[in-house]
Amino acid sequence: MPLRCTSGRVRHRRNSGLLHHPAGDARPRAHTRHGFEPTASDNIRKAHTLLQELISGLLAAVAYGAIGIGMMSLGYVLVDLATPGKLRDLIWVNRNPNAALLLVSGLLGVGIILTTAITGSADNLVVGLIGTLAYGLLGLVLMSLSFLLIDALTPGKLGDELSSPQMHPGSWVSASAHVVIAVLISAAIW
């Protein structure tokens, strides 16, 4: 009585060591715990499938990475607009802790949002990319609005305080608002 192994091939005797393919050729194969060893063509198909999955994953990572770089660059520009003077000079030349804190909180916020959008995206790459871009833009808009709202509700100009060489508590408030907004958007995505 023929027996079928998991691969669908038929073998006629339990201990014959011969594998009878549907085409009728018989080749000796070693028995394994779960059936027969895969053939060379099975291994090639599996390797080809794995290679295709790897390439697809790498291309998706490049696409998501490009969106991430674009969103972080836009976030940098928005923080630069909020601070008087050049942000590059404030952070790297003047070593201003207020401007650095605001930039770091914006970058972390964007990173939190994009990471959640990517992990929550569908198996469809195009839909995932569009969703990631949309949530990233929403996060940047809401973080910018929070900065403007905090500036409007507090005495003085927050932008001027950010350029001060001494650490200002308002910088912590604005930075915290960025992170909270990012977490809220992430919770909405998930």
Q: What is the mean pLDDT of each run of 10 residues along the chain (190 residues)?
A: 46 46 52 66 86 92 95 93 88 92 94 93 87 95 92 84 86 94 94
Q: Does residue 94 belong to any structural domain of this protein?
A: yes
By residue range, what is the domain housing residue 12? 3-37
Same domain, yes or no: 144 and 57: yes
Q: Does residue 71 belong to any structural domain of this protein?
A: yes
Same domain, yes or no: 129 and 154: yes
Same domain, yes or no: 12 and 78: no
Ramachandran category for residue 98: left, alpha or beta (phi over 0 → left; psi -120 to 50 → alpha): alpha
- At how many degrees (to 10) do helices 97-119 and 40-82 cross? 150
Q: How does pLDDT run across 69-116, given as a tens digit for each residue?
A: 999 999 999 989 888 889 999 999 999 999 999 999 999 999 999 999
Q: How many residues does the chain have?
A: 190
Same domain, yes or no: 75 and 99: yes
Same domain, yes or no: 73 and 110: yes
Same domain, yes or no: 11 and 64: no
Q: Does residue 45 belong to any structural domain of this protein?
A: no
Q: Does residue 122 belong to any structural domain of this protein?
A: yes
